Structure 1
């Protein structure tokens, strides 16, 4: 029986998930209000004799529910960036649960933030062989914060501080 591999302590770790402003409870409240409003309009149209409006009203409600469900499904996506002494690992999980893992050696890594006028900057981790875009689910301010945090982590990796008891005060 072999001993489990010891993972080195992480220098940096970020778990990135898409922002959603409303959870399941909020969704239930919004769709309850929409259903009540739809029922009110449908009842009014029925009494006025405008029967085709009833069908369109139902289709509108169903379409809103389907589109919101698709949006909530996208919230299951994630991206984990893990930096250790030995490697940088970027693990992406799609909304369907499919995972892709990219591993890079940290020696030549650098953070690149490409500015585009009128849109979010593109954040990538670059080495001599490859360029990997990270933080696609983040807004502009969050990407800038992530870029600064990654730069700081790479700087800590390249210039470690050693605890020497003889040099302590």
Structure 2
């Protein structure tokens, strides 16, 4: 059976939170321009007009960096996919970097390392290889993903056969 036709037994897609919507971005542009206009008027009235290009450059730089960050977070994602015979972890950062890690699902275990301070670490472990999952997720979401992935791997390892002849 080819990899393209394998049935998907489990799939989880996580993306970073995007707290600034398109409407919020428009408000940021308006407020940034208004915020720069007030000192621009004051400096012009005081005769310090050479400051104006620097104010404009600062506003443009801030808006450019926010736009760039929004683009990177929109493209970033992590996909965990369990199929017959393999467990794939595909991670894409927003800057074009991709990493695909393949595990043998029968020998892979899910480890959730609770830390004293901060967020727990969700790991896939197989024969010394360790890959961290859920970098975008909140602590409770990491715990939920760990439970769901552990249950899916358990169902994979211990299938239930419904054969009426064996009853």
- Show structure 2 runs of 5+ residues with no match: none
CA RMSD of aligned residues (A): 2.4
Measure, in 1, the Cα distance between the counterparts of 2:3 and 2:77.
Answer: 25
**Which residue is equivalent to 2:141?**
142
Pairs aligned (count): 166
**Which residue is equivalent to 2:66?**
68
Q: Which has the higher strand share?
A: 2
**Cα drift, residue 42 of structure 1:** 1.2
**Which residue is equivalent to 1:151?**
150
Q: Which moved more, 1:46-55 or 1:57-66?
A: 46-55
What whole-Å deviation, never above 9, does each CA across 1:102-152 have from its counterpart, x for those lacking one?
Answer: 111111111111122221111110011411111112121221111111111
What whole-Å deviation, never above 9, does each CA across 1:70-129 have from its counterpart, x for those lacking one?
Answer: 321321111111011210001111213332211111111111111222211111100114
TM-score (norm 1): 0.84
- Aligned CA distance change for structure 1 residues 5 and 127 (closer, same or farther; 3 Å): closer
- Of residues 26, 29, 37, the one that matches 1:28 is 26
**Cα drift, residue 25 of structure 1:** 3.4
Please state if 1:164 is matched with 2:163.
Answer: yes
